[in-house]
Amino acid sequence: MTRLVPHFLIIGAMKSGTTTLHDDLRSSDEFALSDIKEPAILATSSDEAEAERRYTRHFARLRGDIRGEASTVYTQQPRHPDVALRARAVCGPELRLVMIMRDPVERILSHLRHDLAAGRFRPGEEARVVEELPDYIAASDYPARLRPWVAAFGAERLLCVPFDALRRDRVAAVQGVVRFLGGDPARVRPGKEVSNPSGGQRGIAPGPVARLVRSDLYRYSLRHLLPAPVRETVRRFVAGSPVAADVGLPPDLLARLRERFAGIEGELAALTGQRVRLGAGEGAGNE
């Protein structure tokens, strides 16, 4: 029996265009990607057997010969320290990996907008949370995030994609990813709008309904029994209302962050063998 596990993973980085790439790959009939992004199966399963069972359920309804999923939690160490080794055990050593990366400081600002909209801190607390909570800076430390994956699979199984390349020439960037994944670039139809733009975050609705909708029971079973208009109504209810999320950091903190990441392109080249330009973007954040 065919094992329904991924042939590839989009592993990050958070707020760097992963949703846009995921949606573009879904436009090709070669790719089997669920409309459920961030399933996080490798990070939330208790063992390899459970992960494989959940992947079977995840891909059971999908067509396409090239299976994949996108979960940026897979590069959120040390929260999920063994996920790369679990990926190798479940998916095999031939798994391909895609990592989208943007200017580290611009990524932090987009991350802050996302979390402010979600109610994780109050307006005006941006500097405090960056200084006190390690996740914001850690998520932009791409070499550290990628080392476990390179150790588990080798640099040749990894493709680094600059976010600015995706924004500057989306068709060429997506087609390059398709070639790396063994697909036909002519069969993919990249969209014109970004997915999950930074100005469109919604607050997260709490409560038992939200927890149910985010569960595997709903996503893989109950959801498919509901008519499309009902599913959309449920999605909007759980997502909450749009939230304004303007953020800013003081100049001295921005300067320290720039200094912190000054050598990141060289570190990435030494680790992956790929030259990735991470020039400062224009603040148009998306996931």
287: in domain: no
Q: Domain containing 162: what range?
A: 8-203+241-272
Give 188's contacts (C-beta < 8 A, 6+ positions apart). 24, 25, 27, 28, 30, 31, 174, 175, 178
Would 208 be classed as within a structural domain?
A: no
* Structure confidence by residue, pLDDT tens digits, 205-215: 556 766 666 66
Question: What percent of the chain has a predicted confidence (pLDDT) above 70?
Answer: 80
In a domain, 252, yes or no: yes
Count of domains forming the chain = 1
283 lies in some domain: no
Is pLDDT above 60 for 200? no
CA distance 182 to 177: 9
- Tell me the pTM: 0.85
CATH of the domain at 194: 3.40.50.300
Alpha-carbon gap, residue 27 to 29, rounded angstroms: 7
Has residue 136 been placed in a domain? yes
| Average pLDDT of the residues in 1-15 | 90
Q: Is residue 147 part of a domain?
A: yes
Amino acid 162 reads: P
Compute the average pLDDT of residues 16-25. 95
The answer to the question of residue 137 being in a domain is yes
Is residue 113 pLDDT above 70, yes or no?
Answer: yes
Q: pLDDT, tens digit, for every residue of 152-191?
A: 999 999 999 999 999 999 999 999 999 999 999 999 999 8
Q: What is the b/e burial string over 44-63, where b = at least 16 CB atoms within 10 angstroms of the residue's CB?
A: ebeebeebbebbeebbeeee
Within-domain flag for 286:
no
